Amino acid sequence: MKILVCIKQVADLESRFQVASGQTWFNETDLAFRLNEYDEFAVEAAVQLKEQTGGDLTVISVGPARASEALKKALAMGADQAVHVLEDQQLESFQTAQVIFEQIKAQGYDLIFTGMQSSDKGSGQVGLLLGEMLKINSVSCVVAFKYDGRIEVERELEGGLRAKLKLATPALVTCQLGLNQPRYPTLPNIMKAKKKPKSEVTSPAPASRLQVVALGPPPKAGAAELIEGDLLAQVSKVVAILKEHKLA
């Protein structure tokens, strides 16, 4: 079985983010970076499947030179080889999916894992766009996974509900938090990862379909107003507030 995991290096959410006026992305100077949390669950699911089936596991990432650290962690977790598509620009979801598609379309992967979303942009689109480009079965928000000749998954839905699905391969799965318990790379495996095949490639990104106009912190919420008095007085005050804001 040929298995692929798409991963991304993102800024650690514990970092102090700074966005200057007019910027469309935050200042990355002095930020700490890590493997996207959702992608850790994807890597773990892929490694478990590789151990079960004896398959071959590749990880791929699109990003600047520093993204090699995320690939090294995935290799230390159990991937067999890594592909780094060097890209210094901030790509939107369609561009990222297209770049990955161009690299893997002829590889014939049986199963592709991605994180449900990245913690920096949170679009949740790259995996499903890639599945559509490849014309294969795709399922998102997976919180339980099993393989026994066919794929059996559970998807997380709104309201705490779950949907159980069966898929034939080839297929793509996007992984939600809690799918498994990602392993911590041991020192021997970190050393072994240094000898695993890693390739660096370039691939021109298509024109962007999305324009970022501005980036900034959300507006501060206004203070709550406590309405006192009897019920009639409270209702009258609420109606007056609604009319003032043209909501009634």
Within-domain flag for 55? yes
Helices 68-77 and 37-53 pack at an angle, to 10 degrees, of: 40
Query: How many domains does the structure of the chain reveal?
Result: 1
Label residues 125-146 b or e (16+ Cβ within 10 Å = b).
bbbbbbbebbebbbbbbbbebe
Q: Could you read off the pLDDT of 131-144 as tens digits, one per residue? A: 999 999 999 999 99
Within-domain flag for 127? yes
Within-domain flag for 115? yes
Within-domain flag for 152? yes
Within-domain flag for 221? no
Within-domain flag for 23? yes
The domain that contains 104 carries what CATH number?
3.40.50.620
Cα 38 to Cα 198: distance, rounded to the nearest angstrom:
22
Q: Which of 192, 245, 179, 217 is nearest to 17 (CA)?
A: 217
Is residue 29 within 8 A of residue 11, CB to CB? The reply is: no
Domain that holds residue 138: 2-201
Within-domain flag for 220? no
Helices 93-104 and 126-134 pack at an angle, to 10 degrees, of: 40
Within-domain flag for 52? yes
Q: Could you read off the pLDDT of 67-110 as tens digits, one per residue? A: 999 999 999 999 999 999 999 988 999 999 999 999 999 999 99
Is residue 155 within 8 A of residue 162, CB to CB? The reply is: yes
Question: Which pLDDT score is estimated for 26?
Answer: 75
Residue 212 pLDDT > 90, yes or no?
no
pTM for this structure?
Answer: 0.84
Q: Could you read off the pLDDT of 11-23 as tens digits, one per residue? A: 888 877 777 666 7
